[in-house]
Amino acid sequence: MKVTVAGSGYESFVISACLAEMGNVITHYSQTPPTNVHDLSFHEPGLPAMLESNVSARRLSFSDDISLASDCDLCILALGHADTVDEQALDFATEFGAALNSETILINSSPTSLGVTEKMLEAAQSSGNTVSIVCYPVFLKEGEGVEDFMRPDRIILGTESYEARSVMVSLLRPFSRQKDRVTPMSIRDAELTRLAASAMLATRISLMNEIAAIAESFGADIEAVRSGIGADSRIGYSYLYPGVGYGGVCLPGDINELVNEAASKDIQPVLLNAVLQRNSMQQEWAASALRDCLGNLRGKQIAVWGLAFRPETADVSGSAAIVLIRQLLDAGATVAAYDPMAMEAANKVLGEQAGVTFCSHQYDALTDSDALVLMTEWKPFRQPDFNAIGKLLKQPVIIDGRNQYDSAALKQAGFTYRGVGRGNRE
């Protein structure tokens, strides 16, 4: 098919690359097309090589010309999370509709508010051209976007048009060859499905963090508890890991959208507000654990491993590590930080504050530090040299915000160890 994908965030590039990989001819439209696919503003494993190969095969091209972009069988709008995403979506629909020369389909894959997809249809048709609309939420995790798109759990298609649905099913058939993963529904159903999925995942995370807090006070080990409840087929293990709270822009943004929508309809979102509150409280955990181990933090240097909100991305949006660093600076401590990819982004967000040193190697952050805090579960942090860590740290203190390490082994080796919900048993 001849497809236009509009957007400048990682979602739009993932969609363009994956659809082109299946033989479609893709025009990627944005106001600032990339000059080099290896120099994007985000990191997504495998994506630059896939983009480059499809550009070379002439299945993918980039353009800032709306008239060229409107010459397509269908157009997918995939904007990133932003405060102005609704306005951006409506502006694009108006511009796209005015540029059309033939009947086409407009697909909304952007994180817009409830009801915006229908407004996009009105905007696209305002010039008198015939446009069908589809709400097609894509569920992509940063750092795993290509894999998520190529092997989706489900394909949600919200539309009132049988013809538009048939075209989308044909376009996406290569991604569900072994099993039909398409779930057709109305536009409003699809919009709410996207938000409800985020709410469900965030609720599991916050519930586990709350149980972890109980485990800490009770002297139980949340890892044993997690294994016990995850074995229940009704529960499972997915998103059942306690930690320092969820971050990014998707989960917080989607839950706030649901809370605001509920409030506008005079519905009290009791549970969703509790999810937000628990996540905010969880971002206090690491600083509290440090005080428990070190006492007053003034004058202490803390090594922080991991700055991105999740591994395999350079994104620090909503990162609990950024929250922790600000808490440490407010407490009079200094920070030596290391992340494989996110240090430049963290430096921009923190504004090059005095008291923060970004280290070129993970072990460099340990020298003269009073404690190590693990905040992001990057692979290089999973099996570090604990003998080296013990020699480099001024005090053998490890605060494990991702429960990656063997608490019994570390305590036997002479470390003071704190994990999330690990019971703090000495």
**Residue tagged active-site, from 18, 72, 75, 250:** 250
Concerning whether 250 is annotated as a catalytic residue, the answer is yes
3-state secondary structure the chain: CEEEEECCCHHHHHHHHHHHHCCCEEEEECCCCCCCCCCCCCCCCCHHHHHHHHHHCCCEEEECCHHHHCCCCEEEECCCCCCCHHHHHHHHHHHHHHHCCCCEEEEECCCCCCCHHHHHHHHHHCCCCCEEEEECCCCCCCCCHHHHHHCCCCEEEECCCHHHHHHHHHHHHHHCCCCCCEEEECHHHHHHHHHHHHHHHHHHHHHHHHHHHHHHHHCCCHHHHHHHHHCCCCCCCCCCCCCCCCCCCHHHHHHHHHHHHHHHCCCCCHHHHHHHHHHHHHCCHHHHHHHHHHCCCCCCEEEEECCCCCCCCCCCCCCHHHHHHHHHHHCCCEEEEECCCCHHHHHHHHCCCCCEEECCCCCHHHCCCCEEEECCCCHHHCCCCHHHHHHHCCCCEEEECCCCCCHHHHHHCCCEEEECCCCCCC
Which residues are designated catalytic?
250
